[in-house]
Structure 1
Amino acid sequence: MAIDLSGKAALVTGAGGGIGRAIAVKLASAGASVALNYLNSREAAEEAVAAIRANGGTAVAIQADVSKAEEAARLVEEAERAFGRPVDLLINNAGHLVQRLPNEEMTEELYGRVMDVNLKSAVFVTKAVIPGMKAAGGGCIVNMTSVAAHNGGGPGASIYAASKAAVLAYTKGLAKELAASGIRVNSISPGFIGNTAFHATFTPAAAREATIQSIPMRREGTPEDVAGVALFLVSDLSAYLTGETIEVNGGMYMR
């Protein structure tokens, strides 16, 4: 069964590279018009837009700091203006570890940055799309959590793990809140996904190899592995699925 998202408008936050970019490309390949949000990676986002357009798709790149409520609202306004319709499909992918730091050294500033980019961004981008989705009779929201939400994360990542656990709980509460409006809300929990800025920045080569050897499938995941699940979650193939979290980790964590 081919998934057809023609006539749908999608917004992917944190889409300048890695998982966000892969999801944007995947949704566009299924026919959705896609707004790619980025913070600093303008060139990468524009390259992704160019690639989508070269394959016959429709896409725009929109800069916004989604850790700020007013920027999140502006992002949604610009996306809706670009496509002339409400956002039908939202992927809250923006997130960051920011810095590995033991809790005894944690600062209020770092705590705020981590929680804002991982949880607050999802809350306020979602807030901005809800009125349009309700007016359209429904929509799909996918939040990005992490295996760290289950296992506490690696060294110096306790606040990151807590923020991702909050996203998981937020997904369940939001799913209950919006179900009667025809809006489904689910989340994806990636494990060790290679070819991303996250592990390029925060994971030493030795730790990376050790992690891969501990994964039952004996490989790291790819952004495309996550993108395929996102496509499923915004399609009619998952029409009776809401409030759920899908683990994408090659078997490293099984519930």
Structure 2
Amino acid sequence: MPLTIVTGGSRGIGAAICRRLAAEGHDIVVGYRTDADAADEVAAAVRSAGRRALTVELDTTDESQVEALFAAAAAAGFSPVTGLVNNAGSASAFGPLADADIAAVRRDIDVDLVGVLICAKHAIRAMSTNGGGSIVNISSASAYLGSPDRYVHYAAAKAGVDAVTVGLSKEVARLGIRVNGVAPGTIYTGFHPEPDRPEVVAPTVPLGRGGQPDEIAGAVAWLLSDDASYATGTTIRVTGGL
């Protein structure tokens, strides 16, 4: 039975991914940073779909906590880990770079890039002893648009995630592990500092609207499925045409 770890799984895109994967037969480990109640709600939805769920409080930038996450999954008696969705993200530094708090910039980059590397490291260790698996890194349209005046450091970190996806896919293919990415555009979640951001950008989007979390979850589910068995090293843009 597939067992997939989803970081940042308590809300927004992460919560939608957990629900979609549960509907497709995955047991889920919901990694969350602070909102235990929201994580419990997602876990309840997973169980309502007939799958098992575990919630784990997690700072993805702390390797000891990542190790504890994988240990908790094993101790819960679930099947071996077959999937990882690197979804946890941060954009706390907002605005022109000249005005940025560099401590916040460093924290964001730690979450958006270093945390991805740490989680991937331990997923590879787990998957390589259990016949392989699949990693999906959540990138962003900002990786190629740059996000000027908003968070260029976040865009740079996500461009790094895209590079990790390509390089790591080649590194671990021989182990039976696939590595892919999904790059969302502007999605209706609580992630953006401006709540109306999807409406603001809609006129610039060829499809004329912001996206929904479930539309990202569908792409992630496909990459984790057997239908994507020959896909590795690629990042799918789900951006409304941007």
Q: Is 1:86 paired with 2:72? A: no
The answer for the alignment partner of 2:97 in structure 1 is 103
**Identity across the alignment (%):** 38
Look up the SS of the partner of 1:198 in the other structure. coil
Within the candidate set 222, 231, 255, 2:221 is matched to: 231
The answer for the alignment partner of 2:22 in structure 1 is 28
Q: Measure how far apart 1:85 and its partner are.
A: 3.5
Within the candidate set 208, 217, 220, 1:218 is matched to: 208
Contact 2:198-2:209 at 8 Å conserved across structures: no
The answer for the alignment partner of 1:141 in structure 2 is 135
Look up the SS of the partner of 1:240 in the other structure. coil
Look up the SS of the partner of 1:217 in the other structure. coil
AA partner of residue 211 (structure 1) = V
Within the candidate set 245, 249, 255, 2:235 is matched to: 245
Unaligned stretches of 5+ residues in structure 1 = 1-6
Aligned residues: 242
Contact 1:23-1:224 at 8 Å conserved across structures: yes
Look up the SS of the partner of 1:52 in the other structure. helix
Alpha-carbon spacing, 1:23–1:204, altered in 2? closer, same or farther (3 Å): closer
The answer for the alignment partner of 1:63 in structure 2 is 57
Contact 2:8-2:88 at 8 Å conserved across structures: yes
CA RMSD of aligned residues (A): 1.4
Look up the SS of the partner of 1:43 in the other structure. helix
Unaligned stretches of 5+ residues in structure 2 = none
Contact 1:138-1:182 at 8 Å conserved across structures: yes
Q: Which moved more, 1:138-147 or 1:121-130?
A: 121-130
Within the candidate set 133, 138, 149, 1:155 is matched to: 149
Contact 2:143-2:159 at 8 Å conserved across structures: yes
Look up the SS of the partner of 1:16 in the other structure. coil
AA partner of residue 191 (structure 2) = F
Q: Measure how far apart 1:154 and its partner are.
A: 4.4
AA partner of residue 106 (structure 2) = G
Separation in 1, partners of 2:20, 2:115: 22
Runs of 4+ in structure 1 off by over 4 angstroms are none
The answer for the alignment partner of 1:198 in structure 2 is 191
